[in-house]
């Protein structure tokens, strides 16, 4: 589907929902509105969850990439980066 058709379909669906809201009674309208709010919250939660999963996967991949780099040495299961090495002591003093 082209973006124009998707936008047209969304506009048509919105108009249909608004028309139905006008036709039904006040009690049913309140129930429909509550159901739509619940559905919208569920969609937002699903989207947020997917976004957090992608972010977590990206951060984990970066951590794995850093751990695989050869900027240090392993002593058993302990990784000692070269940046943690102390400078040589000054023998003059």
pTM value surpassing 0.85:
no
Separation of alpha carbons 37 and 48, rounded Å: 16
Residue 50 clears pLDDT 80, i.e. is over it:
yes
Q: Is 42 exposed, middle or buried (0-12, 13-18, 19+ CB in 10 A)?
A: exposed
User: 22, 50, 23, 18: which is closest to 36 by C-alpha?
Assistant: 18
Supply φ then ψ for residue 75, to 5 degrees: -120, 90
Please report, for residues 9, 86, 89, 90, the alpha-carbon distance to residue 93 in angstroms, rounded to integers and kept in the order given.
Answer: 81, 17, 9, 6
Give the confidence band of 12 by pLDDT, cuts at 50, 70, 90: very high
């Amino acid at each position: 589907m082209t973006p124009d058709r998707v936008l047209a379909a969304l506009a048509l669906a919105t108009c249909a929902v608004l028309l139905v809201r006008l036709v039904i009674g006040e009690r049913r309208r309140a129930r429909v509105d509550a159901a739509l709010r619940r559905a919208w919250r569920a969609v937002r939660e699903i989207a947020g969850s997917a976004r957090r999963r992608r972010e977590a996967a990206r951060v984990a991949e970066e951590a794995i990439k850093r751990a695989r780099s050869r900027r240090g040495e392993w002593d058993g299961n302990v990784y000692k980066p070269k940046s943690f090495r102390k400078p040589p002591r000054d023998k003059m003093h």
